[in-house]
C-alpha cells in the first residue's frame, strides 16, 4: 500500500539515508527504530512530504506521490511536542482543521473521536492546563478528525511519564485497529518499538539493518548492530526486572 523505492537523502555532503526500500501494508503499525542521527526522523519527514528526497520514489496505493506536496498527500502527523496552539482551548484545537475542510466529518463522527480518546471533560481547558497525556490525546484527536490516509507519530511516548506511557501505547494500538489506519511511528526505544508495532524497521547510519516482526527480530537478528544495540538493551532490562521480582515471575 505504501511503497518506498530506493530513497536517498544527503545533507551538505553527508549521507543521511541511502537506498531505502520498504513495503507497508494497510492497517499496519510500523516503527522506525534507530539511535539518534540514524536518519529515522528524516525518513518520516520524507514520507510526510516535509523534506525533499534526493533520489527514489514513493507510491501510495499504486500511484506515484513522490512529487505531490505535503498538503496533497493527505497524510498527517502528531509531532513529538504535539505543537498544540496555546491560544485555543482543547476543543478549538481539535476542530482547527475542520474549518478548512467543511463537511468532511459529521458532528456525530467528531463526538465519536472525542469519546474514543476520553476527552469530554477536558474540552474547554486551555492547552497550558492539560497534562502531557491529555495533550497527546488532543493532538491525536486533532490529527484523526482530518481523516489522514496514513498517521505518522514522531516519538509519541518520549515526553510522557511511566504509567501514562503504557495507556497511550494501548490507545495507539486500538486507533490503528478501530479506524483501520496505517500508522508509522518513530522511536529510539527498542522496548517501545517491539511491544507497540506489527513490524519494525531498524535503521542504522542511513541504511536498513533489519525489517521484520518483533518475533523475527528477537529470534533472528540480522547483524551485530541489531544484536548489540537492540537486543542487548532488552536483555539488560529483562535481567534488571527479574532481579527485582525474582525468577519466579519470568
Partner 1 sequence: MPKVKPEMRAILVIIFLLFIVFLLLPLAVLLVRSFETSHGFGLVNYQSMFSNKDLFEAIQNSIRVSTMTAIITTILSFTLAYTINCTNLNRSIKAVIKTGILVPMLLPTITYGFAIMYSFGQQGLLTKLFGRPLFEIYGFNGLLIGYMIYTLPASYLLMNNSFQYIDKKMTIVSKLMGDRAIKSFINTSVRPLVGTIGGAFVLSFIMSFTDFGIPASLGGTYNVVATQLYQVMLGALPNFNHGAVIAVLMLVPAMIGVILLNYLEKFNFHYDKMSQIEQIPHKYRDIGMGIISSIVVLCMLSVFVVMFMAPFVNSYPYNLTFTFHHFIDVFQSSDLTRVFKNSIWIAVLTAFFGTFIAYGAAMLNVRSAMKKQTKLLIDILSMITNTVPGMVLGLSYLLFFNESSLKGTFTIIVLCNIVHLFTTPYLMAKNALAKMNPVWETTGELMGDSWIKTVYRVILPNSASTVMEMLSYYFINSMVTISGIIFLVTAETSLVASKIKDLQHFQKYNEIFVLSLLIFISNLFIKLLSDFFQKNRSKHRDKRWLNKKISQREEVL
Residue 120 as a binder of partner 1 (CB under 8 A): the answer is no
* 126 interacts with partner 1 by CB under 8 A: yes
Neighbours of 153 (CB within 10 A): 26
Number of residues that bind partner 1 (CB under 8 A): 32
Helix orientation angle between 132-144 and 107-116, rounded to the nearest 10 degrees: 150
- Sole binder of partner 1 in the list 54, 81, 227, 228 (CB under 8 A): 81
The one segment of 25-33, 36-44, 60-68, 121-129 that binds partner 1 by CB under 8 A: 121-129
Q: Is 101 in the site for partner 1 (CB under 8 A)?
A: yes
Distances 238 to 83, 191, 217, 231, 246 between C-alpha atoms, Å: 35, 10, 16, 10, 11
How far apart, in whole angstroms, are the C-alpha atoms of residue 208 and residue 221? 13
Interface with partner 1, residue 134, by CB under 8 A: yes
Q: What angle do CA 85, 162, 168 make, to 5 degrees?
A: 55
The residue range among 2-10, 120-128, 176-184, 226-234 that interacts with partner 1, by the rule CB under 8 A, is 120-128
| Interface residue with partner 1, options 85, 115, 236, 240 (CB under 8 A) | 85
Contact flag: residue 129 with partner 1 (CB under 8 A): yes
Helix (H) or strand (E) holding 7, with range, is strand 2-11
Which residue number, 86 or 246, has a Cβ lying nearer to partner 1?
A: 86
Q: Alpha-carbon dihedral of residues 101, 71, 27, 29, nearest 10 degrees? A: -120
**Distance (Å, rounded) from C-alpha 147 to C-alpha 142?**
10
159-218 residues near partner 1, rule: CB under 8 A: 161, 163-164
Stretch that binds partner 1, among 12-20, 76-84, 109-117, 182-190 (CB under 8 A): 76-84
Measured from the CB of residue 150, what is the shortest distance to partner 1 in angstroms?
A: 12
* Region binding partner 1 by CB under 8 A among candidate stretches 36-44, 129-137, 170-178, 226-234: 129-137
Among 149, 32, 166, 145, which residue's Cα sits nearest to residue 90?
Answer: 145
Q: How near is the Cβ of 87 to partner 1 at its closest, in Å? A: 4
- In the bound state with partner 1, the residue whose beta carbon lies nearer, of 71 and 248, is 71
Cell of 172: 495507539
CA–CA dist 25, 145 (Å, integer): 22
List the one residue from 79, 116, 179, 229 that touches partner 1 (CB under 8 A).
Answer: 79
CA distance 126 to 92: 10
List of residues contacting partner 1 (CB under 8 A): 50, 70-71, 76-77, 79, 81, 83, 85-87, 96-97, 99-101, 122, 125-126, 128-134, 142-143, 146, 161, 163-164
Amino acid at each position: 500500500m505504501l511503497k518506498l523505492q530506493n530513497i536517498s537523502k544527503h545533507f551538505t555532503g553527508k549521507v543521511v539515508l541511502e537506498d531505502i526500500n520498504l513495503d507497508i501494508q494497510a492497517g499496519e503499525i510500523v516503527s522506525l527504530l534507530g539511535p539518534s542521527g540514524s536518519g529515522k526522523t528524516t525518513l518520516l519527514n520524507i514520507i510526510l512530504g516535509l523534506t525533499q528526497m534526493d533520489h527514489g520514489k514513493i507510491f501510495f496505493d499504486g500511484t506515484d506521490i513522490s512529487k505531490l506536496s505535503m498538503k496533497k498527500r493527505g497524510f498527517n502527523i502528531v509531532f513529538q511536542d504535539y505543537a498544540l496552539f496555546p491560544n485555543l482551548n482543547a476543543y478549538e484545537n481539535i476542530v482547527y482543521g475542520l474549518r478548512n475542510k467543511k463537511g468532511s466529518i459529521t458532528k456525530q463522527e467528531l463526538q465519536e473521536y472525542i469519546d474514543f480518546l476520553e476527552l469530554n471533560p477536558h474540552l474547554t481547558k486551555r492547552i497550558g492546563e492539560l497534562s502531557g497525556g491529555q495533550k497527546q490525546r488532543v493532538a491525536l484527536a486533532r490529527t484523526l478528525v482530518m481523516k489522514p490516509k496514513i498517521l505518522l507519530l514522531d516519538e509519541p511516548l518520549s515526553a510522557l511519564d511511566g504509567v501514562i506511557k503504557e495507556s497511550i501505547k494501548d490507545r495507539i494500538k486500538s486507533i490503528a485497529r478501530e479506524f483501520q489506519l496505517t500508522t508509522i511511528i518513530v522511536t529510539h526505544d527498542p522496548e517501545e518499538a517491539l511491544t507497540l508495532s506489527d513490524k519494525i524497521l531498524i535503521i542504522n547510519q542511513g541504511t536498513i539493518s533489519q525489517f521484520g516482526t518483533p518475533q523475527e527480530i528477537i529470534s533472528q537478528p540480522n547483524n551485530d548492530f541489531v544484536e548489540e544495540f537492540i537486543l542487548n538493551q532488552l536483555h539488560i532490562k529483562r535481567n534488571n526486572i527479574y532481579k527485582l521480582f525474582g525468577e519466579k515471575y519470568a
